[in-house]
Amino acid sequence: MMSIAVSAVIRPSHPLRAALFGFALANLAAGAALAGGLMPGVRAPLLVGALCLAAGAACLRMAHRNTTAHQIDVSGLGQIRLTVQQNIGAPPAAPDGDGAAAAGATVSILPGTSLWPSALLLLLGDGAGRVTALVVFPSSLAPGQFRALAVAIRAVGGRKNVLFGTKKNFELIAACQLLYTEMQARRSHGGIGSDDRTRV
């Protein structure tokens, strides 16, 4: 049986930070234009402009705060340990016998955690009731670790029946993800035939 143990450092995603900065600049520019009376056709321009400026400031704050790396360790038994990586340039801490880091908080997967082929939304809660939300893209991890982490999270979440609310929904989405992966593989090897399109 294949082990689900994995240890990975989740670094800030550069595409996500760039998107946040871009959205922030767009909102700030719109807010300034509305406040300056450059959009006369908009109702309540001062109110809308203030909302745009607030949204832009919030996005800038999120982009600035999204600079912390986390180390996540999943043991073969399904225990998850999360550690804030203070020194981003340092290598991951050596796992112990259970595959978990020697330091950090033991966390569990919370309902609402979602898995997609190119992104993971991890909601992790510790024993003190604190919740950590991590958005993970392939660019956030070392090459090859995204799939390994997704498989481990899917396995642990499936055991505890917390992914997507119910086991039935989890199995349905897992089947859809498998079908999507197969379709992508067929496209990369010469496209999908008419029979495949009809069946899908």
Can you give the pLDDT at residue 54? 93
Tell me the residue ranges of DSSP E strands in the chain.
6-10, 69-74, 80-85, 105-109, 114-116, 119-126, 131-136
* C-alpha 162 chain-centroid distance: 16
Residues 137 and 9: their CA atoms lie apart, in Å, by 12
Q: Which are the contacts of 1, defined by CB distance < 8 A and separation ≥ 6?
A: none
Q: Which are the contacts of 119, defined by CB distance < 8 A and separation ≥ 6?
A: 135, 136, 137
**One digit per residue, pLDDT tens: the chain, 200 residues?**
567 889 999 988 888 888 889 999 999 999 999 888 888 878 888 888 899 999 999 988 888 776 788 899 998 888 899 988 754 444 444 444 333 333 478 899 988 888 888 889 999 998 888 888 888 999 889 888 999 998 888 888 877 666 654 444 455 555 665 666 677 677 776 654 544 443 44
Can you give the pLDDT at residue 168? 47
